[in-house]
Structure 1
Amino acid sequence: MPAFLPPWRTLAAGAFWITGTVIGVNDYLLEITPIVGNSMQPTLSPQYYTTGARDTVAWHKWRPAGPDLRRGDLVMYTTPHRGEGSAVKRVIALGGDTVVLDKRRRPGRDEDGEPKPSERTVAKNWDAMAPKVVVPYGHVWLEGDNWRASKDSNHFGPVSRSLIVGRAMGVMWPPQRWGRPWEREAGFAGKTKVVKGREAVPVEWEELVLGV
């Protein structure tokens, strides 16, 4: 029996372990993605539709929706209306908070203020929620900073924490954009009003969640 593997087997084994490690890190620890679209402007990729410039953001993926999740954090989540899709939005409210709906964010009109027939049902659902929404236990209210071009909780309501797959660590590229621009005051322009509350386990869930 040879004392060592042939070169091609050594390379194959190395490629297998490197690929597995990269996939594991990407799925459970860290992911780096470019930000496309304009729903988070001017906070992220502010020049995307003028010059094509994109911010590249690093996301930590180990318990991104843990107890240290804060209002104002940026998260990547699996969209409720597209099970295979993901999006980036800001956490506006946590479970127990009351969201005062912003009329500008009512679905049903495009960026030019023209009616969108395809969103009539969504608009009716928004009207049914108005004027205030109490975010249920285990959920968050997510919105894009660009209220003119964002499909978010105003379209599909509070989002389960279980759908959050990453929390933003910082902009990695380009160098002049390095840091956490979403923590600057400009990122909160036009922010929806929130009355902070206390997240409590529903009585009917206590046995399941707390084991009592």
Structure 2
Amino acid sequence: MAEKKNELWEWTKALAIAVLLAAVIRYFLFAPIVVDGLSMMPTLKDQDRMIVNKLSYKIGEPNRFDIIVFHAPENKDYIKRVIGLPGDSIEYKNDTLYVNGKAYEEPYLEEYKKQVIDGPLTDPFTLEEKIGRDTVPQGQLFVMGDNRRFSKDSRHIGTIQIDEVLGRTSYVYWPIQEVRKVD
């Protein structure tokens, strides 16, 4: 009888440790997220499942073109691409991104630009027109979805606080036939 109690106790401890470890990993390190909508097409599809690396910005800073997950004003988590970092001046003209006056290529948009026949993929704008400032404020990011015509992003909701960023995401794990790293 004592042997069965001991075995039950060992199994209970193992299960408790496993649950605690899973909770710590999910809360502090990695979490799953489901892409909801078409704002990141063609890079990400609706219902793609991804892993969010929550540790990435606790030990480092966001980089231009990172795909991030953040708390949006509508009490929802958004997935968007970092376009502007604190202090950057952002402008789009002739379907080209200019950061601090320098043109940047966006290879993740090339496929989509070829499909658009009725004007630019990204309408021209300046940061001043969108947020009323000529540079991204300190502690904030300017983000955009890859599906520029159908994305609710910093052009509509303004810049986002770096504190609202959950983490970086770059791996699709579901559907299984589309497992991949995205840039």
**Structure-2 separation of matches of 1:62 and 1:5:** 40
Could you report, residue by residue, the CA deviation over 1:10-41 in whole angstroms, capped at 9, with x for unpaired residues?
Answer: 43333322111111101111122232211111
Is the 1:89–1:152 contact (alpha carbons within 8 Å) kept by the matching residues of 2? yes
Structure 1 residue matching 2:62: 3-state secondary structure = coil
Structure 2 residue matching 1:20: 3-state secondary structure = helix
Equivalent position of 1:60 in the other structure: 53
**Structure-2 separation of matches of 1:12 and 1:143:** 47
Identity of aligned residues (%): 25
Give the TM-score, by structure 2 length: 0.68
Correspondent of 1:73 among 62, 66, 70: 66
Is the 1:100–1:133 contact (alpha carbons within 8 Å) kept by the matching residues of 2? no
1:1-212 alignment runs, 5 A limit? 5-45=5-45, 48=46, 54-64=47-57, 67-79=60-72, 81-83=73-75, 85-100=76-91, 129=131, 133-181=134-182, 183=183
**Structure-2 separation of matches of 1:65 and 1:148:** 32
Structure 1 residue matching 2:180: 3-state secondary structure = coil
**Structure-1 separation of matches of 2:58 and 2:142:** 13
Q: How many residues align?
A: 149
**Structure-2 separation of matches of 1:4 and 1:166:** 45
The amino acid across from 2:144 in the alignment is: E
Structure 1 residue matching 2:141: 3-state secondary structure = strand
Equivalent position of 2:109 in the other structure: none
Equivalent position of 1:109 in the other structure: none
Q: Comparing both structures, which one devotes a greater share of its residues to strand?
A: 2
Structure 2 residue matching 1:162: 3-state secondary structure = helix
**Structure-2 separation of matches of 1:180 and 1:64:** 19
Deviation at 1:178, TM superposition (A): 2.9
Could you report, residue by residue, the CA deviation over 1:104-146 in whole angstroms, capped at 9, with x for unpaired residues?
Answer: 9xxxxxxxxxxxxxxxxxxxxx95736x641011111111111
* Cα RMSD (Å): 2.8
Could you report, residue by residue, the CA deviation over 1:141-196 in whole angstroms, capped at 9, with x for unpaired residues?
Answer: 11111123322212221111111111013222334433333x3xxxxxxxxxxxxx
Is the 1:71–1:92 contact (alpha carbons within 8 Å) kept by the matching residues of 2? yes
The amino acid across from 1:89 in the alignment is: K
